[in-house]
Amino acid sequence: MGALGFSVTDYLLALLFVLLALFAVGILLIDFMLPPEMKWANAVTAMIGVLFSAAGVYKIQLWMTASNASGSYGLMRSMLVDHFAIYFFYLFLAATAIAILMSVSYLEPSTKSWRILRPDAAIRCRHDVYGCRLRYRFLSSLASS
C-alpha cells in the first residue's frame, strides 16, 4: 500500500475499537425500538460486543505471536500495540463486562425507585439518599406554589 493507505496491519490493530464502536452504535439505534420490559437486550448486545472485541484482541495477540514481534505500529505510526497494550485491552474489556453485569438491574423498569403519588404527597425513595430529598424539596416547592 501507499504511504497514506490503510493496510491490513492497520485494520487488525484497529479491530478492537471498530467492533466496540459498531456495537455501541447498534445498541443506541436498537434502544429506541425496544419496549421498556425488553431493555435487558441492550446488556446482552453489549456483552456480545465485548466478547467480539475480546476475540479481536486475541486475534491481534495470535498475530503478534506468529510474527514474533514485540510490538507493531499502525495508522501511520500513530498507534503502537505491544504486549503491554494487549494486557490493558483485556483489562478494560473485563472491567466493561463487569460494569455491564452490574448495570443489568438498572435496565429493568422500576416504579419503586421514586414516584409522585400526587402533587402534595411524598416521594417514595428506594434509598434515603440526598438526591431523593432534593427531588422531594423541589417537587414540594412546585406543589405549594
pLDDT of 27: 93
pLDDT of 106: 72
Joined together, the cell numbers standing for residue 62 give 495470535
pLDDT in tens, 78-123: 889 999 999 999 999 999 999 999 888 776 655 444 444 444 444 4
pLDDT in tens, 50-70: 999 999 999 999 999 999 988
**Residue whose C-alpha cell is 490493530:** 13
Whole-structure pTM value = 0.68
Phi/psi zone of residue 92: left (φ > 0), alpha (ψ -120 to 50 degrees), beta?
A: alpha
